[in-house]
Structure 1
Amino acid sequence: MDDDVLSEVLRPLWLTDVFHSTWKAGGQWGVEGHDDSCAIVHYMVDGGCVISFQDDSEPVSLNQGDLAVFPHGTAHTFAAETGAAVTPLSTLLPHCRPGRSEVVSVGSPPYTTRMLCASLRYCAIGEPVLYSALPRLIVIRQHFLRGESLLVRTLESLPSEIGRTAPGSRLVTLRAFETVFILSLRIAMEQLADESPALQALHHPGISKALTAIHGSYRTPWTVESLAREAGLSRSVFAQLFRELVGQPPMRHLTLRRLQEARRQLAETSVPLQEIARLIGYGSQVGFHLAFRKEYAMTPGEYRNRNRTGPAPVPVTS
């Protein structure tokens, strides 16, 4: 089994499209964003800005060369300084259609701040089970980027690449931003683990092994005891630590991973329900049926029929 926890956790996640924009700002300026169902990336090419949220948390300063990732598209404001008057993002960018690119000027000349932004759209069915536990903002400072040559080269090449109209440019741009996104999470896992329990879970030598087992081999009839052995920890220590870092018990996490794969199979294939139950690790179709209905308030068959015309259901249990 592959021992790369980040690859296994992110394997179900696939980006479907990207909207990107180049921002030029000067003088006193501010932009107020909104919640969005996507991941957002801000890369400070020149100058800097201040990020703030709609609560009492401390503002975060971004400087030249810094990279900010918002895994959940959380609403935020970016501005020249704290307290600056803001303009709604929807006013500046009323049509953020995936696959498009825009150049936006805000404030007044001279434009000393330049920022590359992107909204990364992904399929909700493929959202990793642990993904929701990631922090709302991950900041990769310039000094962390220096040792990541692939990430630096990708960021440096993006401004020229996104302006091209050559064949395949849209796909190239999508894959470039996907690379930026995944490499950012890798740096966060390795360098910024203390900032988030979810990042600590990915970085912890024992819990990461259990996560790799759950996400990479979900068909295996795991128990708390066998996962604890995989992690090299006692059952009690493992169960407590897993819950503290991941935010849910190990068997609950395994169930959600299995059902995530079931949703993918139901949405994308015509594999019979009994076979899907076997493929995701259930000994019987009845057990699969009951677990799916408890989680999504509908049967697998109902979900398959509904998914042909509507979005994936939102879990009714936490």
Structure 2
Amino acid sequence: MDALTDILNTLRMSSSLYFRTNLTAPWGVEVPAKGAVARFHIVIRGNCWLQVGDETEWTPMANGDLVIVPHGTSHRLVNEKTTEARPLDDVLQEVGFTGSGPLVYGGGGAGCTLVCGELAFDALGVHPLLENLPGKLYVSGDTSYNAKWLDSAIGFIGHEAAKLDPGAHAIICRLSEIILIQVIRTYLATSKEIVPFLSAFTSSRIGKVLSAIHAEPAEDWTVERLGQMANMSRSSFSNHFAELVGMSPLQYIIFVRLQLASRLLIETSKPLINIAENIGYRSEAAFSQVFKRQYGIRPGEFRRSHTRIVS
């Protein structure tokens, strides 16, 4: 398994469709901030403007454009930059929106149709991959974005949102998750700046090491051994890894191990010693010490504070 696949699986995404809109000018909506989510908006028809968080810049959006706000930051969508953006909750209350059918709102002028939704991440899935994404990921509908499949996916979402036949929400949610993954992949491939953690995926040497760590987190990894895998000296590898990942190699190994441990504690009933061995620790005491240093509580306390044990 490659590192990116393992990380995305660890994030435990779950998506939901907010609504399809029938907005007519003048209109403006402010979407409130929300933690551990990525919100998306797809323009199916018409034009609008987007402003995220404290940015002064406005982003124009038109047919086929897609924007993802990966950190759940508050943002504004308006027909014109001069239009006031009203809080979303106020708009929903004013029009009596119940969650079924399109959100119809505005002054009766030029129309704009959006499909809006969010992808939630498990709170335990906090990862530098997400933390270091930019404030917005914007995809223009009139440019080639890696493959024509994105146009097809967005068109399919628009079709399903318009009809809302049985199963439409499930289709939209699955496609939204796939689109987010593809947009992240393409951002990683096209970003020209050195971005903490994200830039590690542009290095074939460090990327190879990351994949090895994620594939075998319990392996008895050493900096020397990982450096050899990257075909670099120990010091050069350690410095380069820390520069790109934002952690030393050993710190990242511990990070990956403890993320896996937290999942096993919540989602299984495995004894602590078995979990310790699964992630590379020979004793429950050693595992408990490292886990408490990271999470502030011991593994047993962590398990008792979560109730999603399934097997």
TM class by smaller structure: 0.7 to 0.9
SS at match of 1:85: coil
Matches within 5 A, 1:43-192: 43-93=42-92, 103-162=102-161, 163-166=163-166, 168-192=167-191
1:18 aligns with 2:16: yes
Deviations 1:266-306 (A, max 9, x none): 11110000000111122322221011111111110011111
Q: CA deviation at 1:53?
A: 3.0
Kept after mapping to 1: 8 A contact 2:29/2:78: yes
Look up the equivalent residue of 1:26 and give its one-letter code: T
Mapped pair 1:39 → 2:18: no
Rounded Cα–Cα distance in structure 2 between residues aligned with 1:201 and 1:50? 33
In 2, Cα distance between the equivalents of 1:292 and 1:204? 30
Q: Aligned in 2, Cα 1:244/1:113: closer, same or farther, shift over 3 Å?
A: farther
Cα root mean square deviation, aligned: 2.5
Q: Provide the C-alpha distance between the structure 1 equivalents of 2:248 and 2:58, rounded to a whole number of angstroms.
A: 33
Amino acid across the alignment from 1:23: T
Residues in 1 aligned to 2:213 and 2:92: alpha-carbon distance in whole angstroms: 41
Q: How far apart in 2 are the matches of 1:233 and 1:64? A: 48
Q: Does the aligned pair in 2 maintain the 1:218–1:257 contact within 8 Å?
A: yes
**TM-superposed deviation, 1:101:** 5.5
Hey, what's the Cα distance between the residues in 1 that align with 2:292 and 2:69? 32
- Equivalent position SS for 1:264: helix
Aligned to 1:36, the other structure's residue is in SS state coil
Q: 1:203 to 1:109 in 2, by over 3 A?
A: farther
Deviation at 1:146, TM superposition (A): 4.9
Q: Distance in 2 between matches of 1:50 and 1:235?
A: 50
- In structure 2, relative to structure 1, the CA distance for the partners of 1:196 and 1:76 (3 Å cut) is farther
* Contact in 2 for aligned 1:69/1:139 (Cα 8 Å): yes
Q: CA deviation at 1:31?
A: 1.7
Identify if the C-alpha distance between structure 1 residues 24 and 124 changes in structure 2 by more than 3 Å, giving closer, same or farther: same
**1:41·1:68 contact (CA, 8 Å) conserved in 2?**
yes
Residue 27 of structure 1: aligned partner:
25
Query: Can you give the 5+ residue segments of structure 1 that lack an aligned partner in the other structure?
Result: 95-99, 310-318
- Cα distance in structure 2, aligned partners of 1:88 and 1:247: 37
Residues 158, 61 of structure 1: CA spacing in aligned structure 2 closer, same or farther, 3 A cutoff?
same
Q: For the pair shown, which has the larger CA radius of gyration, 1 or 2?
A: 2
Deviations 1:159-202 (A, max 9, x none): 22234342x44433321221111111122122235384443222
Q: Is the CA contact (8 Å cut-off) linking 1:277 and 1:285 kept in structure 2?
A: yes
Mapped to 2, the partners of 1:5 and 1:57 lie a distance apart of: 36
**Within 2, Cα distance between the matches of 1:24 and 1:215?**
45
Structure 2 match to 1:313: none
Which moved further from structure 2: 276-285 or 264-273?
276-285
Corresponding position: 1:243 with 2:261: no
Q: Indicate the larger mover: 184-193 or 234-243.
A: 234-243
Distance in 2, matches of 1:154 and 1:221, equals: 43
SS of the aligned residue for 1:283 comes to coil
- The one-letter amino acid of 2:238's match is A
Q: How many percent of aligned residue pairs carry the same amino acid?
A: 30
SS of 2:297 mapped into structure 1: coil
Distance 1:56 1:83 in 2: 15
Q: Is the 8 A contact 1:145 1:151 kept in 2?
A: no
**CA pair 123-102 structure 1, distance change in 2 beyond 3 A:** farther
List runs of 5+ in structure 2 lacking aligned partners: 94-98
Equivalent residue letter for 1:270: S
Q: What's the counterpart of residue 97 of structure 1?
A: none
Secondary structure of 1:68 counterpart: strand
Paired residue secondary structure (2:10) = coil
2-side partners of 1:284 and 1:71: how far apart? 39
Q: Which amino acid aligns with 1:253?
A: Y
Contact 2:160 2:168 in 1 (8 A): yes
Query: Number of aligned pairs?
Result: 301
> In 2 relative to 1, CA 34–229 (structure 1 residues): closer, same or farther, beyond 3 Å?
farther
Matched, 1:280 2:279: yes
For residue 207 of structure 2, give the secondary structure of its aligned residue in structure 1.
helix
Q: Is the 8 A contact 2:261 2:279 kept in 1?
A: yes
Residue in structure 1 matched with residue 221 of structure 2 by the alignment:
222
Q: What is the TM-score with the length of structure 1 in the denominator? A: 0.84
